[in-house]
Amino acid sequence: MTKYTTDHEWLRIEGETATVGITDYAQEQLGDLVFVELPKVGQKVVKGKEAAVVESVKAASDVYSPLTGEVVEVNSTIVAEPGLVNSDPQGAAWFYKVKIQDASELADLMDEAKYREYLKKS
């Protein structure tokens, strides 16, 4: 199951873990990424708070955590190759995996159909 935030993050839920990244729309708005900073494994992330940073030739932008939980894995490949986020934002360029602390936080996230509607209004 994949969910989306109004800040253009996506998360793929697999059991008690969620994989987090930014959407294709977000990477298009940012332009060519030149830098990615990820949270550390073991770090606690809080829903709605900064969890990562991306920097493009246009601007730097925060990536907000869609859920509260503990980071259990990070994708160091995108730190070495930030451009991967531009070419495969919802696949190989995931940012981090988080152990879900409170599944009720998923309730206010959008499914793909609602996210597409949200983009049309943006």
CA-to-CA separations, 109 to 40, 47, 59, 87, in angstroms, rounded:
24, 11, 26, 25
Q: Which residues contact 79 (CB under 8 A, 6 or more apart)?
A: 36, 37, 38
Place of tokens 């990424």: 33
CA atoms within 13 A on the CB side of 67: 29
Angle at 44 between CA 87 and CA 79, to 5 degrees: 30
pLDDT, one tens digit per residue, over 6-55 is: 999 999 999 999 999 999 999 999 999 999 999 999 999 999 999 999 99
Both ends of the chain: CA-CA distance in Å?
24
Report the SS3 class of residue 119: helix
Which listed CATH number (2.40.50.100, 3.30.70.120, 1.10.10.60, 3.40.1010.10) goes with 2-116?
2.40.50.100
Average pLDDT of the chain? 96
pLDDT in tens, 50-91: 999 999 998 899 999 999 999 999 999 999 999 999 999 999
DSSP H helices, the chain, are 24-30, 76-80, 84-87, 112-121
